[in-house]
Structure 1
Amino acid sequence: MTTITQDSTAQQAPAKKKSSRILAVDILRGITIAAMILVNNPGGLEEEGFAPLLHAEWIGLTPTDLIFPTFMFIMGITTYLSLRKFNFTWSMTCARKIAKRAFLLWGIGLALVWLFAFVRGMISADNADLAFIERLGVAANSFEHMRLLGVLPRLGICYGLAAVVALSVNHKFIPWLIAGIFIAYYILLEWGNGYAHDTTNILDVVDKIILGEGHVYKWDSPDPEGFLSTFPALAHVLIGFCVGKVIMSLDNLNDKIERMFIIGALLIIAGALLAYLCPISKKLWTPTFAMVTCGIGCTLLALLTWAIDKHHYTGAATKFFDVFGVNPLALYVLSDLLLIPVSMLPLFGGHTLHQLLYNNVLTAFLPVPWASVTYAVLYVLLNWVVGYYLWKKKIYIKL
């Protein structure tokens, strides 16, 4: 984890490369992080909220399903921008940077899973009769059932693998590699009962063989961030990398915007047509899901580039999302950490702050769906306040 300020950034970044930076990338990244925090933290039960704020149950696509893949698409673009500084050549400095970031993302993800299990163990009524030291030991020993994969581990693994591919493979072959991964994964799904929403699915079977039954997502089968679906997710990041290469090879901003619109449209059309053969599913991370969501992400980036970089729109919304965009992963991790004092610890007479605010205040004045989304918006704003302080002080925490 690295913390930098504007001064240190200015010393490290060459002026020539700074001029080619697309500001819309930061804004779209900020939108995805704010949206992640929003949909991950409803006030009530998921089924009590509005349908667009829920993931598709199995096959299909909702606005919520676009959030994580859009972030991964952007990660592919920023991976291109980052590795370009090393001329896409291996060096010890470059290798250390890649390894550090990949393992840090995975490690923080695992640490958060363990921390939540530890806190639940400490406050669990099942352990109430134990002495403090015994309760501490029981709570800390949660490794047997700790999920090894998840959102942050997926980001770390896909970033690391995409960076290795970018430094080791001729870039003109990367589109063929993406196509090969998609075709192989499609065959695997067809051959391995991959569309079954149960434990007979090849993805679930392989997860339990490789990771162990106690280390997979226990609320659904298969694990939405499981082992095999990591490969199409890698291809997803590589699509972002290729888009980054295309747009950064163009000097004219209008050409960049036009090319992004064209690529986005082609990906959406191709994914939609192929969906008759291979259904769109986030939980399976099907090739069609990757194509459609990358296409939508590319189109959104084109629209934001047109508004922000071309027409210089810098209104309140732009500044709001820039706060999340310059410290994206730090604020995402913060949103998880804040769950402990806000939603887990009964600090107010046996009630959590979440329970007091949602059950006693919001639902008293608003219908349940509106109360749930209002709570989520307030939680986003809580994280934004911390992010705004960092943004104002020009403190950028790089994971």
Structure 2
Amino acid sequence: MVKSIIRSQENETMSSSVARSTSIVILVLAMIAAAKAQEFHPKEVGEAFIQKKSAHPLVDSKSLKFKVDTAKLTVFVHALIDDNKNNLSYPVQIYFLSDYCHNCSYYYVTNITGIHKHYTTTFLVDSKWNSNVMFMSNLSKSNISCSENVSYHFGERGEYTWQIEIRDTTTNASCSSNGITVVTKPWNSYLPILVAFCILLGLAIVYSIVDTFYSRRLLNRSESVDRFINSDLGSTTTMDETMVPEPRPARERMKSVDSFRGICIVIMVFVNYKGGWYWFFHHSPWHGLTVADLVFPWFMFIMGINIVLSIDSLERKATPKWEIAYKILRRTAILFFLGLCIINHNTDFVNMRIPGVLQRFAVAYCIVTLLHWGFHKSVSDISTMVVNATSEDGSNPWWYLIRDIKVYWLQWIIIACFEVLWHCLTFLLPLDNGCPTGYIGPGGLADHGKNFNCTGGAAAYIDRKVFGVKHLYGSTTAKKVYFPPDFDETIPFDPEGLLGSIHSILIVFLGLQAGKIYLYYKEPKQRIIRWYCWSLLLGVISAVLTKFSQYDGWIPVNKNLWSTSFVTTLSCFAFFILPTMYYIIDIKKLWTGAPFYFVGMNSIFIYVGHEVFTGYLPFSWGAGSTSTHAELLAMNMLGTAYWVIIAYYCYKIKFFVKI
């Protein structure tokens, strides 16, 4: 099942027992994940935090506790009325709208009422984005309605007042307000990030100095280690020394790929630990990108690179076809099984969630690997094709400079068919619940509430029909912005659903293309130029699809749907980062890739481990929604740092887990 290498070549005779031990470790981790309680997973912070269910929500400011990314707003209502109208009530309804909620309508927050001339209440408001606050009131005597709104960006843990004046006299019937007034200055919620950045920068400088003297001791490992180490989803090497009998130089290993993978894992761990609860370390509510949206597709892109090199290595060793097929199917099954175990906490088979992160890895890996295996060409095969197509005057064929694309033209046609399928299902499939065909919005308050129950459009519709509502995630990042804060109903949407899996295949295939460039072009300059050209091409495609806009493009960037522009944009970034790191780490050797290099070599172990032990000491100590950003950031950074240390320790003792 799950294999590992523990110790160096002299302990090679213990490999079978080591494999069994590592299998037990992984199974235990999976069992813990399946049985782990969820009390340490605090709910996401909503757009505002108001107890709407109270019929008379007059709240004292001192009794109300702050939550993350909130401020206190106290509303004072002063009624100027005739003396003989003291027994009349003048209810004031408060409505909110976040500027981040695109094309949305106001939502009801609370009702302030009383039979006195002065009454007040306090509630928490969102401080992440600029907010629009509106009040409405019906004047009892004049029998008219009045309203007024104000736009304001509340600061975290600041205290504010809003004075509303209602006039209902024989000579004047109107409403007015004095605007938002600051009572207590807000905190600088970004100061902890600045402090953390300075600390990390200092540590990086110290590490660089130490690494200058000790990098050779840390990284010049024996050839036996490199022979055993494979990346979790395929080898990052092009050949193996057992292929030919004659002595040859040590094989080339792309440390930049391991380091890139390590960066993805470290960011993934950090954002899964809530990233200090900063909104930009959470997934984007709907259209758009945040830091948390980057790592999953990048990891899949890197998997594509590994697939090319792994298949080439297996073919060079003349591995039997049945063994290659077995390796592919086994790895797919293990990834899918681990994914099911990790995401299903304290549940049963009736309500078990089926789609998930590792499940999507498994599907994309299986399809793309089989696709490439069926059409794989070795370096010598392509060289032979070039020689056969060379003209009599010795000039190379027209496709020589794009031979990595031309010889795989049938693969591109198959991927194009997948792309056509995604667009047809997304924009042409009729939907239920009265949802418009081709809808890709968040539902809820978007479009002024006209498509409230249409979250995800065709993607959600297909998942409901295939899996059933009980087997889906049951929520969406759009809930934080596009739904009222007291909306407690399940939203049948899964961000790792079937339709998005089509585009996960696409980004793995683009990673496959990056691996082909590395395999078929031996000069670093040739590789780097082609990687940058692909980055430019995909960037132009993204610009056209989005019209350089977050919301108004033909196909906006959307991680929940894995839209076409999302894949091209993230692949554009990956094609830029890869040659940059390749030049710095592998060519110029200005950086060893540490400490991310250590994490990248044990990525599946770190990923499964951090998912299993989320909420346990020392990775978490129970800070929650009422804590400060500083405390949450410190907890999440330390939790991430522990896994980096664990990865380094595994590297030192030569413990590597692969599947």
Matches of 2:614 and 2:632, distance apart in 1: 16
Matches of 1:369 and 1:375, distance apart in 2: 10
In the other structure, the counterpart of 2:389 is none
CA contact (8 A) 2:475 2:493 kept: no
CA contact (8 A) 1:43 1:354 kept: no
In the other structure, the counterpart of 1:139 is none
Question: If the length of structure 1 is used for normalisation, what is the TM-score?
Answer: 0.82
In the other structure, the counterpart of 2:603 is 328
In the other structure, the counterpart of 1:157 is 363
Counterpart of 1:298 (choices 562, 566, 575) is: 575
- Within 5 A, what are the aligned runs for 1:241-252? 241-252=512-523
- Within 5 A, what are the aligned runs for 1:190-339? 190-192=427-429, 193-198=438-443, 199-200=453-454, 201-220=457-476, 221-275=492-546, 276-314=553-591, 318-339=593-614
Cα drift, residue 18 of structure 1: 6.0
In the other structure, the counterpart of 2:323 is 93
Cα drift, residue 86 of structure 1: 2.8
Matches of 1:219 and 1:342, distance apart in 2: 28
The AA in structure 1 aligned to 2:541 is A
Query: Helix, strand or coil: the match of 1:354?
Result: coil
In the other structure, the counterpart of 1:389 is 649
Matches of 2:561 and 2:249, distance apart in 1: 38
In the other structure, the counterpart of 1:124 is none
Structure 1 residues 370, 266: closer, same or farther in 2, change over 3 A?
farther
The AA in structure 2 aligned to 1:92 is W
**Larger proportion of helix:** 1
CA contact (8 A) 2:275 2:282 kept: no
Cα offsets for 1:196-232 (capped at 9, x unmatched): 3245422112112111211111122531100121111
Query: Helix, strand or coil: the match of 1:145?
Result: coil
Matches of 1:111 and 1:341, distance apart in 2: 18
Backbone CA RMSD of aligned residues:
2.5
Structure 1 residues 325, 40: closer, same or farther in 2, change over 3 A?
same
CA contact (8 A) 1:76 1:244 kept: yes
Matches of 1:295 and 1:35, distance apart in 2: 19
In the other structure, the counterpart of 1:380 is 640
CA contact (8 A) 1:278 1:288 kept: yes
CA contact (8 A) 1:194 1:203 kept: no
Matches of 2:572 and 2:644, distance apart in 1: 28
Question: Are 2:407 and 1:182 equivalent residues in the alignment?
Answer: no
Structure 1 residues 11, 223: closer, same or farther in 2, change over 3 A?
closer
CA contact (8 A) 1:175 1:242 kept: no
The AA in structure 2 aligned to 1:160 is C
The AA in structure 2 aligned to 1:27 is S
The AA in structure 2 aligned to 1:14 is D
Question: Are 2:28 and 1:2 equivalent residues in the alignment?
Answer: no
Cα offsets for 1:326-372 (capped at 9, x unmatched): 001110000011125349xxxxxxxx9522xx369x95xxxx23332
Query: Helix, strand or coil: the match of 1:396?
Result: strand
Cα drift, residue 194 of structure 1: 4.2
The AA in structure 1 aligned to 2:497 is G
In the other structure, the counterpart of 1:82 is 310
Cα offsets for 1:160-217 (capped at 9, x unmatched): 1111111234733222333332233123222233403245422112112111211111
The AA in structure 2 aligned to 1:291 is T
Q: How many residues align?
A: 354
**Larger proportion of strand:** 2
In the other structure, the counterpart of 1:130 is none
Higher relative contact order (CA 8 A, sep 6+): 1
In the other structure, the counterpart of 1:27 is 259
Counterpart of 2:342 (choices 88, 112, 136) is: 112
The AA in structure 2 aligned to 1:273 is V
Question: Are 2:349 and 1:143 equivalent residues in the alignment?
Answer: yes
Matches of 1:18 and 1:203, distance apart in 2: 48
Matches of 2:411 and 2:543, distance apart in 1: 22
CA contact (8 A) 2:274 2:281 kept: no
Query: Helix, strand or coil: the match of 1:266?
Result: helix
Question: Are 2:288 and 1:60 equivalent residues in the alignment?
Answer: yes
The AA in structure 2 aligned to 1:174 is Q
Cα offsets for 1:123-175 (capped at 9, x unmatched): xxxxxxxxxxxxxxxxxxx2211111111111111111111111234733222
Cα drift, residue 10 of structure 1: 4.8
Larger displacement relative to structure 2 (193-202 or 74-83): 193-202
Larger-Rg structure:
2
Query: Helix, strand or coil: the match of 2:657?
Result: strand
Structure 1 residues 195, 64: closer, same or farther in 2, change over 3 A?
same
Structure 1 residues 194, 234: closer, same or farther in 2, change over 3 A?
farther
The AA in structure 1 aligned to 2:466 is I
Matches of 1:340 and 1:369, distance apart in 2: 17
Cα offsets for 1:292-333 (capped at 9, x unmatched): 101101111111011101110235xx2110121000111000
CA contact (8 A) 1:77 1:243 kept: yes
Matches of 1:271 and 1:19, distance apart in 2: 37
Cα drift, residue 249 of structure 1: 0.7
CA contact (8 A) 1:263 1:298 kept: yes
Query: Where do 5+ consecutive residues of structure 2 fail to align?
Result: 10-223, 229-238, 242-247, 377-407, 430-437, 444-452, 477-491, 547-552
The AA in structure 2 aligned to 1:391 is Y
Matches of 1:281 and 1:90, distance apart in 2: 42
Matches of 2:266 and 2:250, distance apart in 1: 25
Cα drift, residue 27 of structure 1: 0.2
Matches of 2:249 and 2:602, distance apart in 1: 20
Structure 1 residues 40, 272: closer, same or farther in 2, change over 3 A?
same
Matches of 2:610 and 2:640, distance apart in 1: 8
Percent identical across equivalent pairs?
Answer: 25
